[in-house]
Chain A
Amino acid sequence: MSTSKTLQWVLPMLEVKDLSVSYGAVNALRSVSFTAQPGVITAILGANGAGKTTLLRTITGLAKPKSGSVRFAGQELLGRAVENIARLGVAHVPEGRGIIAELTVEENLKLATLWCLGRGERQKAIDHVYELFPRLSEFRRRHASTLSGGERQMLVVGRALITRPKLLLLDEPSLGLAPLVTAQLMTLLRDQTAGSDMTVVLVEQNARSALSVSQNAVVLNLGEVVVSDEASVVAADSGLRHHYLGF
């Protein structure tokens, strides 16, 4: 038991190796490699079209790669069905707020618990999300379509955390949010990750706020890894920042 725990901390939870994805003649990802460790937030940065979203979609099985491998806790993910990858403890918050608008707030949360929690445990997990985001409990019976942008983001992040995932993939959580809400979200993310064994991969165009909470950063440009280093190193490199991150 204790050995496997130690091993987990030594080995990367997520290991992407030589991953190439193409849509027809367009190469979305070219031989991308990086690793992500438990208890650490790894930011994936880069401009529009750099391949960030494709990278996440390939990890969770939504996009099919040409070649390469994605190992999660030692298991190969490529070739597995999306729902089976999710059931390994991989939570993916897709781009553009993946709420299910036709369901109520509570139904959205409940849906995520069905595969892993028993009848008695579900409500407790849902209440835990309400503690994290008290606003959501006010709207529990309302359709998710009635929520504001910030509330929708609370719902999808809460829904992703509800199953205590081992790997959390977030695609542009700050998109369209007010700076204050973004800051709150990033703080929450940092608090949830620190001291836990959750591996977080954070895709962001908003590089400044992403770098403020992550320990590691991978910069993508036109489907290729430009830099993969500690977040503080990337943030300190003004040339890199200027060239690829726009600040």
Chain B
Amino acid sequence: MELFFNITLNGITEGMIFASLALALVLIFRATRIINFAQGAMGMMTTFIAFSFLNAGLNYWWAFVFILLIGFVFGSLVERVLIRPLYGKSELNPVIVSIGLLVVLEGVAGAIYGNASHGFPSAFSQSGITIGHTKVAFSHFDLFIVIAVIILMVGTLGLFRFSTLGLRMRASAFAGEIARLLGVRVGLLLTLGWGLAGIAGALAGLLVAPTSSFGPYFMDLNLVYAFTAAVIGGLESPVGALVGGLVTGLCISYVGGYLGSGLEPLGALVLLIVTLMVRPEGIFARPAARRV
């Protein structure tokens, strides 16, 4: 029972991280119909920049804020420079470009920082909190992860639901041509969507790094899990990304805890295949309302 409890806690924490990276994928997919395979590598790159900041003696929280801003700029730049020329061309082009970016970023990070893994400092203690007399598998850092991702999710949903900027972004994502006819600067808002995704990806990198072997490839597996989470959530809904992240995190945690951690990627793959077989449109797909 205690094992189950601890595995569940671990699954929730991991799930929140997958959710933030899945949110990045969702923001981009719903705005531009592109799966950004480089999202994890972009988060890796911003985390390495954070690593340099921290090594240079910068305060953790200042580095944290800067990295989220850099993530925003990075995401926006990738859209403007690499992705924008591909709109209206074959759907395969952005796939190739984003995978190319992934390879380049990992190569660059390896060339600068080496391929060995580094220790990334953690903002809070990573040893489990003691409740009564038992130590549970939930540290102060885990609590920070959960709170940070909840803030990200609430912020994103609030932006979309309650602000006119969010209204413009949704309109641009759902019906770009009509939005333009109504005076909406769709191009700018698509860039903004990529920028927001850059923030979510940068956050995921910062949250994963302390508890993993931090190196040029440390986000690869997380991207696979986040992709699974995004597909479960329907690829278009931020709430879906959160639920998908939690489902994926729990599944992987149970597979790892009961069957062995080597089977975790396989568990995610099975989850992805089952989702595509049973409910290919995902849990939170928007109603299929297309004009006739």
Query: Shortest beta-carbon distance, A103 to chain B, in Å?
Result: 6
The answer to whether B57 has its CB under 8 Å from any CB of chain A is no
Interface residue ranges of B156-204 to A (CB < 8 Å): 164, 167-168, 170-171, 174-175, 177-186
A107: chain B residues within 8 A (beta carbon): 167, 171
A241 interface residue per 8 A CB criterion: no
Quick one: which of B174, B177, B290, B291 contacts A103, CB cutoff 8 A? Answer: B174
Comparing A67-75, A108-116, A207-215, the segment that makes contact with chain B is: A108-116
CA of A164 to CA of B174 in the docked complex: distance in angstroms? Answer: 25
Known contacts A114-B164, A114-B167; is-contact A87 B289 (Cβ 8 Å): no
8 A Cβ contacts from A1-24 to B: none
User: Within 8 Å CB of B171, what residues of A?
Assistant: 100, 103, 107, 111
Residues 185-220 of A at the B interface (beta carbon under 8 Å): none
Residues of A at the B interface (CB closer than 8 Å) are: 60, 62, 81-83, 86-87, 91-92, 94, 96-103, 107, 110-112, 114-116, 143, 145, 159, 163
Q: Is the CB–CB distance between B183 and A116 below 8 Å?
A: yes
Contact B289 A101 (CB under 8 A): yes
Contact of A112 with B182 in the complex, beta carbons under 8 Å: yes
Interface residues of B in 267-292 (CB under 8 A from A): 286-287, 289-292
Query: Which residues of the partner chain B approach A101 to less than 8 Å between Cβ atoms?
Result: 174-175, 289-291
Q: Using Cβ atoms and an 8 Å threshold, which residues of chain A touch B185?
A: 83
Contact among A62, A91, A114 with B184 in the assembled complex (CB-CB below 8 Å): A114
Q: Do A145 and B289 contact each other (CB < 8 Å), given the known contacts A62-B177, A83-B180?
A: yes
Q: Which of B178, B183, B186, B292 contacts A100 (CB 8 A)?
A: B178
Other CB < 8 Å A-B pairs besides A83-B180, A111-B182, 14 of them? A60-B181, A81-B180, A82-B177, A82-B180, A83-B183, A83-B186, A86-B183, A87-B183, A94-B177, A97-B291, A98-B181, A100-B178, A101-B290, A102-B170
A103-B184 contact in complex given A94-B178, A96-B291, A145-B289, C-beta closer than 8 Å: no
Find the B residue at minimum CB distance from A110. B167
Give residues of chain B (85-99) contacting chain A, Cβ–Cβ below 8 Å.
Answer: none
List A contacts of B164 (CB < 8 A): 110, 114
Residues of chain B within 8 A (CB-CB) of A99 are 178, 291
CB distance from B5 to the nearest CB of A (A): 40
Given A145-B287, A145-B289, A100 and B174 contact (CB-CB distance below 8 Å): yes
Task: Compute how far the CA of A238 lies from the CA of B273 in the bound complex, rounded to whole angstroms.
Answer: 65
Chain B contacts of A100 at CB under 8 A? 171, 174-175, 178-179
Q: Could you tell me the distance between the alpha carbons of A62 and B174 in the complex, rounded to whole angstroms? A: 17
Q: Across the interface, which residues of A come within 8 angstroms of B168, CB to CB?
A: 111, 114
Collect the chain B residues with CB atoms within 8 Å of residue A145's CB: 287, 289
Between A and B, 20 residue pairs with Cβ closer than 8 Å are: A62-B177, A81-B180, A83-B181, A83-B185, A83-B186, A86-B181, A86-B183, A87-B183, A91-B181, A98-B181, A100-B178, A101-B289, A102-B174, A102-B175, A111-B182, A112-B183, A114-B167, A114-B168, A116-B183, A159-B182
By the criterion CB–CB under 8 Å, are A86 and B180 in contact? yes
In the complex, chain A residues whose CB is within 8 Å of the CB of B167: 103, 107, 110-111, 114
Complex Cα–Cα for A100 and B174 (A): 7
Closest to B164 in A: A114
**Chain B residue with minimal CB distance to A81?**
B180
Distance between Cα atoms of A216 and B281 in the complex (Å): 50
Compute how far the CA of A226 lies from the CA of B291 in the bound complex, rounded to whole angstroms.
33
Q: CA separation between A115 and B164, bound complex, in Å? A: 11
Q: Known contacts A96-B291, A98-B178, A143-B289; is A103 also within 8 Å of B170 by CB?
A: yes
A109 to chain B, nearest CB (A): 10
Tell me how far the C-beta of B288 lies from the nearest C-beta in chain A, rounded to whole angstroms: 9
- A115 with B291, Cβ < 8 A, contacts A94-B178, A100-B174 known: no
* Complex CA–CA separation, A62 to B182 (angstroms): 13
CA distance A164 to B287 in the complex (A): 33
Q: How far is the CB of A115 from chain B (nearest CB, A)?
A: 4
- Per the bound structure, the CA–CA distance linking A116 and B164 in Å amounts to 13
Query: Are B184 and A115 closer than 8 Å at their CB atoms?
Result: yes
Kindly identify which residue among B174, B179, B181 contacts A92, using a CB–CB cutoff of 8 Å. B181
In the assembly, what is the distance between CA of A60 and CA of B181, in Å?
Answer: 8
Question: Which 5 residue pairs across A and B have the least CB separation, nearest first?
Answer: A145-B289, A115-B183, A86-B183, A82-B180, A101-B289
* Chain B contacts for A62, CB-based, 8 A: 177, 181
Flag if A114 contacts B289 (CB, 8 Å): no
With the chains together, A141 CA to B171 CA distance in Å?
16
> A133 to nearest B CB, angstroms?
18
